[in-house]
Chain A
């Protein structure tokens, strides 16, 4: 089955892509570039890096800019998915949803309207196990956004490894933070993954942070051999 992956460049959509590619034919990425940094639907930090990631994956990409207004952004998503169906003849869409019924049901409705299959291979999986899979499969994932107490700018740029996973699980115990950031507590950027033919090197970045909210903006990056 020919599939498109809703791709934000973060760990969940990249891991979902990995699952999908093991079972079906992934033919394109679909990326929404939201101007609203507080979008409930779409990941925003470093969304421009998805262009390099698509190149590293050797996959075509459909991008669509959205103002990010609640519910109207869904029309933009539907338009991007319809474009993917027309241009790449996809029969289904894959998402990296884990817990969010809000996101899942909206994508399910769009898929139904467009006559597409909808796949959510990470759905309801144990979040710690998913983080461990990233580490075991040698993904290089950095934290590129923090949006909850007690996270602070020291977390930005850190790589997800066994030690960091333990810290995130501890924060779940103490503060109820979702370890995989399902409540928007953290955002991530994938610099390397098993399916990447090249890896991403960050050449320049800046950090904008205040209290428990901040982002690491990748200003310049390139692909280098693995």
Chain B
């Protein structure tokens, strides 16, 4: 049985004068220890899909989610808030794009990581030890000292490591990484991707990687879903999609990445109306 199984997921947002269908009936599943990449541009519905996995979206009537989300034998969409709190962070943890705004500036990073541990592992006696261990795991030097640091005392790459440490503190089954490297320098991006690869092996964790950049999924994702306007337009093994994209949107997304030494006169852009029409 798949670890996570999503069937016919639909997400609609209701505003005063119109209904927006952000996700139009998508299905996918995720096996243990595998990495699924969801690729698409802003507005393609990839982030709301990720948020719906633990019901992080606004409540109806603003937002209506239908379909089925099964976490092993648990029906996530049918859960109440107490059950949801138990799976958030414990079974499905998130890291978000912007580390500087996701961390609370008035608490030390150690305190923020400890918060998750205290909630999900009530019997833990050595919370501090666990925090230090989780910081060490993401490659932060001197974790005994650094866990007393405030977010502003760290660089963007370090802050993202703290976010990952926090997400991993309770050793979740699934890590949802929503554009984890978009706000970071290319060199730091490479480090963070390597770190995620390493941790995935160590913990046999499944990852859902959400990104707009095909450049980072090579050698990282097993399967790829390409989303365009709320629908999955192409899916398949990562290597195959990169080598031989079928859908025009997938081709366009790959083509628009600037390549070193390509000597193109102009970068390729995406004509959305043509694709949709």
Do A and B form a real pair?
Answer: no
Residues of B within 8 A of A (CB): none
Residues on A facing B (Cβ under 8 Å): none
